Amino acid sequence: MPNIVLSQDTPVVALACDHAGFPLKAAVQALLERAGCIVLDRGTASAERVDYPDFAHLACHDVTAGRASCAVLICGSGVGMSIAANRHPEIRCVLAHEPTTARLSRAHNDANALALGARLTGEEAAADILTAFLATPYEGGRHAARIAKLSPPQETNA
């Protein structure tokens, strides 16, 4: 796998997977560590069947509590992990199958979680996607007002 060029100094990454994502998780973790990232491994630790939301929530709590700068979540398709992650109001999780989506999600949407589908994404593609995600800073500016609108509107008592 190629090396990652980071957009920030030694980020802490919360890494989680379910049983289907377990084989890809090892390759992703090695790539992150080679790049100088601190990896918070939130499981799972085997290919034995587990429920993906349990692990997505652990990694997302690391991000929302400030223990990690982002999360990388891996399941069979990436869909389940991304849905679970996006239940957290402070998480903006992107499911990316190629680098352009990962790059644009960081630059325009300030994505702080990346979901990968292990059954759909090989190790080299995952490395390219992860590189784009971690190397791209948020642009801010015109995108900030849109990001603010992602939070649910406040209810008023009329």
Q: Which residues are catalytic?
A: 75, 108
**Rg of the chain over all Cα atoms, to the nearest angstrom:** 15
Two tokens at 105? 């999600």
Two tokens at 66? 């400030």
Residue 52 in contact with residue 59, Cβ under 8 Å?
Answer: no
DSSP sequence for 62-98 = HHHTTS-SEEEEEESSSHHHHHHHTTSTT--EEE-SS
Nearest to 132 by CA among 105, 110, 99, 84: 99
Residue 34 in contact with residue 3, Cβ under 8 Å?
Answer: yes
